[in-house]
Chain A
């Protein structure tokens, strides 16, 4: 269709065009309000690995070439990670068409564009995609080291279990015998035995002394020359005896007085003498009773008895202590004798534990080294977020939108005109005439 023919059609259908333009203009406010504009948010990744195109000849630490970054960012893993990061209620298939990633052979910058109706969601998704891409990239870079770290960690746990088991066995053995816990148990046991022997000597000496004291204390008061004093204290403190003695003394005094004034033939003498004898007998009897039954009335006697008991108790204590020391000595000797057997088992635990500890420390060193290697790998081939999306811009500026709407209106009008021309069976053009009759139009009046 040439331009002239198209212009002719437009002119012929000018009323249709006018009607379409008017109707479209009348409807355009409603259409504009119904049409929600799309917003575009852009975040930017920077790729600094030596695998970038400018460094292809150098040793590459990069996990991916930069040309693969768009596909990597558009992968379902990265998108899924971004969706989870911001809690977006959409599937990967729904989100993927809104994402656009471009990369250039001559640039290390990778812009990530997200086009959505919601500007906030567009910003969040653009940033989440950048973060997810960086995280995923690091995860891939560190993946080989993660496997090594996981294996080392597994071995460390095994060694730790061996250490714990042997520690538990040693602890249990130590609880049963303290010597096992010590590395120089024979010396300790010998020293302990010496100490016990020394203690025994001291205890035995003490025992002998206390025993002697007890023997001395156990002698009777008469044996010790204290009997008369005790008897005196007993008699002095016995009221019965004192009463009898007082009567006897008074009667003896009366008898003596009578003897001084009277002769022996005084008839009162025999009776008084008899009374005195009787009283003397009573006094002797009272004395015997007092001494026999009331020895406690003597402080000296009480002290003697107390001393006897004390000495006996001390001697008994000494004997018990001596017996205990002897028992300890016997046990120590037994332990010393049994020490070689116990030591073998304990040493076995200890050796196993020490071996596990050494292996654990070695593994720990390897673990630290691997961690350092991984950090180095992720740092050398790193992608990082250079610029985060702060806001989403409308995809088309208002002026362009207005222009597009105008264009759409004219396209609609032109289309309507052309459609009307097609649907209109009337013959209006020279071409139609020529087509119909196979002859040119030679005039029009």
Chain B
């Protein structure tokens, strides 16, 4: 019997998120370290929400074309994408972090954009890895309705974790919980979700960000 894939295993997490929100929601998935698997979690969570029948927009806070497995999981190269098993709901994956103006990272810009997304999608999932080292991640977290923290299971607690927890509390982010990811799962799923693999699977070329 095959082991359930990560999307299926996130069913309980998705249910708790659904129970915690009311209406269109902007959800930020962040982490203390870039390698904690936040992009994988954001992607899988978006897929899980799609499977649950929600319209979902998945956004990467930072674009990185040279992302290695486990980093950003190639999110910025996936839109638009209708994932397997999806419904007629609108699904879009956007790369936000383009090499454009710094205004894109202003809180006001983010709030404006997120307000627009709320009108169009039931869930807007934003991948914001390495929050402490990212300029935009904390802005997204502040503007989002809820925040989920990804944590690589079994690694030692570091000062970055404590700093992130403290910062999220200071900026008033609504952290609803932490999802731990097994390092093996991160490695395996990140390889499967590499940009080239996903593009080949989707049969579409990468498109530039509509925002940019």
**Do A and B come together as binding partners?**
yes
Q: Which residues of A come within 8 Å of B, CB atoms?
A: 425-428, 432-434, 436-445
Residue contact A426 to B148, C-beta cutoff 8 Å: no
- Which parts of B1-40 form the interface with A (CB within 8 Å)? 6, 9-10, 12-13, 16-17
**Distance (whole angstroms) from the CB of B2 to the closest CB of chain A:** 15
Complex formed: what's the CA distance from A444 to B37 in Å?
12
- Which parts of B132-154 form the interface with A (CB within 8 Å)? 148-149, 151, 153-154
With A439-B177, A443-B10, A445-B9 as known contacts, state yes or no: A426 contacts B156, CB within 8 Å: yes
Residue contact B157 to A427, C-beta cutoff 8 Å: yes
Instruction: For A426, give its contact among B154, B162, B178 (CB under 8 Å).
Output: B154
Residue contact B157 to A443, C-beta cutoff 8 Å: no
Identify 11 new A-B residue pairs, CB closer than 8 A, beyond the known A438-B175, A441-B178, A445-B44: A427-B155, A427-B156, A428-B154, A439-B149, A439-B176, A439-B178, A440-B178, A441-B180, A442-B13, A442-B177, A444-B182
Residue contact A443 to B156, C-beta cutoff 8 Å: no
Which residues of chain B are near A432, meaning CB under 8 Å? Answer: 157
B104 within 8 A of A: no
Closest Cβ neighbor of A440 among chain B residues: B177
Closest Cβ neighbor of B7 among chain A residues: A445
Complex formed: what's the CA distance from A443 to B6 in Å?
11
Residue contact A443 to B154, C-beta cutoff 8 Å: no
Which residues of chain B are near A438, meaning CB under 8 Å? Answer: 165, 169, 175
Which residues of chain B are near A444, meaning CB under 8 Å? Answer: 153, 179-182
**Distance (whole angstroms) from the CB of A53 to the closest CB of chain B:** 65
**Distance (whole angstroms) from the CB of B129 to the closest CB of chain A:** 16
Complex formed: what's the CA distance from A428 to B17 in Å?
23
Q: How many residues of B contact A (CB 8 A)?
A: 31
Q: Which are the 6 A-B pairs with shortest beta-carbon distances?
A: A442-B177, A443-B13, A425-B156, A443-B179, A437-B165, A439-B175
Total of A-B residue pairs, C-beta within 8 Å: 79
Closest Cβ neighbor of A442 among chain B residues: B177
Instruction: For B179, give its contact among A425, A428, A436, A441 (CB under 8 Å).
Output: A441
Closest Cβ neighbor of A443 among chain B residues: B13
Complex formed: what's the CA distance from A350 to B128 in Å?
133
Complex formed: what's the CA distance from A436 to B163 in Å?
10
Q: Which residues of B come within 8 Å of A, CB atoms?
A: 6, 9-10, 12-13, 16-17, 41, 44, 148-149, 151, 153-157, 161-162, 164-165, 169, 175-182, 185
Instruction: For B180, give its contact among A425, A433, A439 (CB under 8 Å).
Output: A433
Complex formed: what's the CA distance from A441 to B9 in Å?
14
Closest Cβ neighbor of B169 among chain A residues: A438
Closest Cβ neighbor of B147 among chain A residues: A439
Complex formed: what's the CA distance from A441 to B178 in Å?
5
Which residues of chain B are near A436, meaning CB under 8 Å? Answer: 157, 161-162, 165
Complex formed: what's the CA distance from A241 to B19 in Å?
199
Which residues of chain B are near A434, meaning CB under 8 Å? Answer: 178
Complex formed: what's the CA distance from A345 to B123 in Å?
144
Closest Cβ neighbor of A427 among chain B residues: B157
Residue contact B176 to A437, C-beta cutoff 8 Å: no
**Distance (whole angstroms) from the CB of A336 to the closest CB of chain B:** 133
Closest Cβ neighbor of B149 among chain A residues: A437
**Distance (whole angstroms) from the CB of A433 to the closest CB of chain B:** 5
Which residues of chain A are near B10, meaning CB under 8 Å? Answer: 443, 445
Complex formed: what's the CA distance from A442 to B155 in Å?
18
Residue contact B176 to A426, C-beta cutoff 8 Å: no
Which residues of chain A are near B180, meaning CB under 8 Å? Answer: 433, 441, 443-445
With A436-B161, A437-B161 as known contacts, state yes or no: A442 contacts B154, CB within 8 Å: no
Instruction: For A428, give its contact among B153, B176, B177 (CB under 8 Å).
Output: B153
CB-defined A-B contacts under 8 Å, sample of 28: A426-B154, A427-B151, A427-B154, A427-B155, A427-B161, A428-B153, A428-B154, A433-B151, A433-B180, A436-B165, A437-B149, A437-B164, A437-B165, A437-B175, A437-B178, A439-B175, A439-B176, A440-B177, A441-B180, A443-B13, A443-B177, A443-B179, A443-B180, A444-B153, A445-B9, A445-B41, A445-B181, A445-B182
**Distance (whole angstroms) from the CB of B173 to the closest CB of chain A:** 10
Complex formed: what's the CA distance from A11 to B136 in Å?
40
**Distance (whole angstroms) from the CB of A152 to the closest CB of chain B:** 90
Which residues of chain B are near A442, meaning CB under 8 Å? Answer: 12-13, 16-17, 148, 176-179
Closest Cβ neighbor of A432 among chain B residues: B157
Complex formed: what's the CA distance from A439 to B181 in Å?
16
Closest Cβ neighbor of B151 among chain A residues: A433
Which residues of chain B are near A425, meaning CB under 8 Å? Answer: 156-157
**Distance (whole angstroms) from the CB of B187 to the closest CB of chain A:** 13
**Distance (whole angstroms) from the CB of A95 to the closest CB of chain B:** 54
